[in-house]
Amino acid sequence: MNPYAVPGLIYVIIYLCLMLVVLKFNTKRDTNRVFAVFILTVVMWSISEAMRKLVVPPSIGYETFWYHDYAVLFAKTMSISAGFMLATFYHFSTVFPKRRMKTGIIIAYIPALIYVPIILFLDEFIRDVKPTHEGYGIVYGSLIGPAIALMIIYSILISYNLLKLYTETKSLLQRSQIKTISIGAFLTMLMGIITVSMISSGIGIPFWMPESTFLLPLLIFVSYAVIKYQLLDVEMLIRNSVISFVTAFLMAGLGVSIVWGAAFLFLSVNLGVFAVLTLFVMTVVIFGYNLIKESVTSVVELLFPGLKWRECKLEEAFLVNTSGVVLVHTKTREKTGVIDSDIVGGMLTAIQDFVKDSFRAEDRETLRTLSVGKTKMIIEHSPNTYMAVVFTGYETEELRSDIKSILKKTEKTYGKILKDWDGDKEKVRNIESMVNNLFPAMA
């Protein structure tokens, strides 16, 4: 089996993770759905490329090889995936950033659909896959010329749409998004032309070079636009992005390593058994996603402790008794202005009582979030207290869990006192240090 198939398999898992991120944040917008389909075509390309390498032995001495017909089939599915990649990315360029899907856009897919039976059943598109002195190459037929012309037409139309949108929009954010996407698309198209030229010229692609690499510039720049410019309305934090990328990479590496190790233990395994084994291992790895992500999060917390609060700037925290009396009010040094904490405590309690009475909420249901402009407040409850935290920026995944930890600790230490509290703050004098210790960013 060819070990050079491993990078392609790793790309597949990383691309799938990117697709899940896009769909997680907004599935109602046409741009997100179309881009998710585009990533799916990229996945199909990468799978085909990896499987084709898997059945081609990494020895240039072979004139023929096992599973030759499979290699030709995967070469054909790569070409089909390439056609739909261009069609879906053109489609994306017509609906980005917030334009609605046009009914006539189906025309863009007709050339790709026409080429499916031509590629699969006619030898005049792909005639053979054979080793060369450098690696291996695909022997194309006479129909490759029209396919290249179609690729150029798609590229021109995509460039035109992005350029037109760039000149029409007045939003600096959208211009930054378009510029970033365009750079990635240009580099990918350039690398695609080089790759096709190497494959079709007889030079061949070296075994160590994954063809999927030429798609990386576009996806890297798209990922950068998601993190930096909230592309597709995805609000990814730098810290969360690091965690997601490392988790995806580890999942990919773990899955491929297990499959590859099992394959070497059973050298006689055929392609069908290998495919079933791969599917099983990928399922196991996906179900272990939470465990892997938690481990990665712990490592990131250890290596970059300040990153947690960089995009979630805490300003104030109120620990309030259920009667409305403020037990602790702490704020950052940068926070200016003086506010009566007792008034805030009373108002927050009154608002929550109003919400509960007006909406007939059950005891466990209450107000948990307030937002005014860029300032947000989240609220968490315990039996005898609740905590309200004011911040700007984005709510990190751990913010609520940290607040719950504070409440759990205060209940454990002062629960009996707070249940029948008489208002004497001397009885809970150490409670403020507990809050400050758990919120070092506010200390």
- Considering the domain boundaries, does residue 294 fall inside one? no
Q: Is the pLDDT of residue 93 over 70?
A: yes
26 or 47: which leads in pLDDT: 47
Whether the predicted model's global pTM rises above the 0.75 cut:
no
201 or 10: which leads in pLDDT: 10
Q: Is the pLDDT of residue 236 over 60?
A: no
DSSP string computed for 248-309: HHHHHHHHHHHHHHHHHHSTT--HHHHHHHHHHHHHHHHHTHHHHHHHHHHHHHHH-GGGGG
User: Among 251-255, 261-265, 321-325, which range has the highest average pLDDT?
Assistant: 321-325
Q: Is the pLDDT of residue 76 over 60?
A: yes
User: Among 111-115, 235-239, 358-362, which range has the highest average pLDDT?
Assistant: 111-115
Q: Is the pLDDT of residue 199 over 80?
A: no
Do 193 and 333 fall into the same domain? no
Do 164 and 25 fall into the same domain? yes
Among the residue ranges 67-81, 245-259, 424-438, the one predicted with the least confidence is 245-259
Q: Which pLDDT score is estimated for 104? A: 64
Which of 188, 220, 236 delimits the end of a domain? 236
Give percent of the chain above pLDDT 90: 1
Q: Which pLDDT score is estimated for 339? A: 64
pLDDT band at 307 (very low <50, low <70, confident <90, very high): low
Q: Is the pLDDT of residue 263 over 80?
A: no
Phi, psi of 59 (to 5 degrees): -125, 125
State the average pLDDT over residues 363-367: 62
Do 231 and 315 fall into the same domain? no
Q: Is the pLDDT of residue 177 over 60?
A: yes
CATH of the domain at 353: 3.30.450.70
Do 177 and 320 fall into the same domain? no
Q: Is the pLDDT of residue 28 over 80?
A: no
Q: Which pLDDT score is estimated for 61? A: 43
Q: Which residue has the tokens 């860029």?
A: 374
60 or 36: which leads in pLDDT: 36
Q: Which pLDDT score is estimated for 60? A: 45
Q: Which residue has the tokens 């995936």?
A: 81
Which of 196, 213, 236 delimits the end of a domain? 236
Q: For the chain, count helices (H), then strands (E).
A: 13, 8
pLDDT band at 400 (very low <50, low <70, confident <90, very high): confident
Pairing status of strand 375-381 against strand 205-206? unpaired
- Considering the domain boundaries, does residue 69 fall inside one? yes
Instruction: Give how far Cα 304 sits from Cα of 238, 297, 308, Å.
Output: 11, 10, 8
- Considering the domain boundaries, does residue 408 fall inside one? yes
pLDDT band at 19 (very low <50, low <70, confident <90, very high): confident
- Considering the domain boundaries, does residue 206 fall inside one? yes
Do 217 and 331 fall into the same domain? no
Q: Which pLDDT score is estimated for 258? A: 67
Q: Which pLDDT score is estimated for 376? A: 86
State the average pLDDT over residues 248-264: 67
Q: Is the pLDDT of residue 10 over 80?
A: no
Among the residue ranges 50-59, 112-121, 153-162, the one predicted with the least confidence is 50-59
Q: Which pLDDT score is estimated for 429? A: 79
Do 102 and 207 fall into the same domain? yes
Do 82 and 218 fall into the same domain? yes
State the average pLDDT over residues 141-169: 84
Do 330 and 201 fall into the same domain? no
201 or 367: which leads in pLDDT: 367
CATH of the domain at 28: 1.20.1070
**Per-residue b or e along 285-307, where b marks 16 or more CB atoms closer than 10 Å to that residue's CB:** beeeeeebbeebbeebeeeeeeb
Supply the range of the domain harboring residue 403: 311-442
pLDDT band at 221 (very low <50, low <70, confident <90, very high): confident
Q: Which pLDDT score is estimated for 397? A: 65
145 or 255: which leads in pLDDT: 145
Do 29 and 147 fall into the same domain? yes
Domain count, the chain: 2
State the average pLDDT over residues 331-343: 65
Provide the CA 333 distance to its chain's centre, in angstroms.
35
Q: Is the pLDDT of residue 62 over 50?
A: no
pLDDT band at 235 (very low <50, low <70, confident <90, very high): low
Q: Which pLDDT score is estimated for 417? A: 87
Do 76 and 172 fall into the same domain? yes
353 or 68: which leads in pLDDT: 353
State the average pLDDT over residues 17-39: 76
Compute, in degrees rounded to 10, the torsion defined by CA atoms 64, 117, 278, 16.
130
CA–CA dist 417, 387 (Å, integer) = 17
Which of 236, 256, 282 delimits the end of a domain? 236
Give percent of the chain above pLDDT 70: 67
345 or 131: which leads in pLDDT: 345
Do 224 and 315 fall into the same domain? no
Q: Is the pLDDT of residue 306 over 70?
A: no
Q: Which pLDDT score is estimated for 123? A: 75
- Considering the domain boundaries, does residue 280 fall inside one? no
- Considering the domain boundaries, does residue 263 fall inside one? no
Among the residue ranges 152-156, 265-269, 296-300, the one predicted with the least confidence is 265-269
- Considering the domain boundaries, does residue 278 fall inside one? no
CA angle 292, 295, 299 (to 5 degrees): 135
Do 113 and 223 fall into the same domain? yes
Whole-number average pLDDT of the chain: 75
- Considering the domain boundaries, does residue 277 fall inside one? no
